[in-house]
Amino acid sequence: MDFQCARCGNCCRWEGCVKVNDREVDEIAAFLEMPVEEFLEEYTRLRPDRTGLSLTEAENGSCIFFEDGDAPRCRINPVKPQQCRDFPLKWNFPNWQSECKGKLIE
């Protein structure tokens, strides 16, 4: 099974931890052309379970890198975390099918 994303951004609006590992931190910081230490301070936080880092959230709970509007987009799409790439096949949220504009392909 595969998933065809419609880039609606509804998964990006879902509140919760977006986990990042060391490799992802390095890749995102490089993509944003900023030092890793600055990226860590500005865009990450300790996860509630204290087992690693997650991206911070915008005030409305959406991902900090999600840009809403007529053409919603992820500012870091080429280097987005694996967790984001895994939606909805490895994780999803309640009633995601009614929120998400993408399609499951068999």
User: Does the pLDDT of residue 6 top 90, yes or no?
Assistant: no
Is the link from the previous residue into 35 a cis peptide, with omega within 30 of 0?
Answer: no
CA–CA dist 38, 69 (Å, integer): 27
Identify the pLDDT of residue 1.
82
pLDDT bracket for residue 97 (50, 70, 90): confident
Q: Where are the beta strands (DSSP E) in the chain?
A: 2-4, 19-20, 44-46, 53-55, 66-67, 73-74, 103-105
| Tokens coding 78 | 């080429």
pLDDT digits (tens, 9 = 90+) for 52-95: 999 999 999 999 999 988 888 999 999 999 999 999 888 888 88
Identify the pLDDT of residue 7.
85
User: Does the pLDDT of residue 102 top 90, yes or no?
Assistant: no
pLDDT digits (tens, 9 = 90+) for 15-58: 889 999 999 999 999 999 999 999 999 999 999 999 999 999 99
CA–CA dist 79, 81 (Å, integer): 6
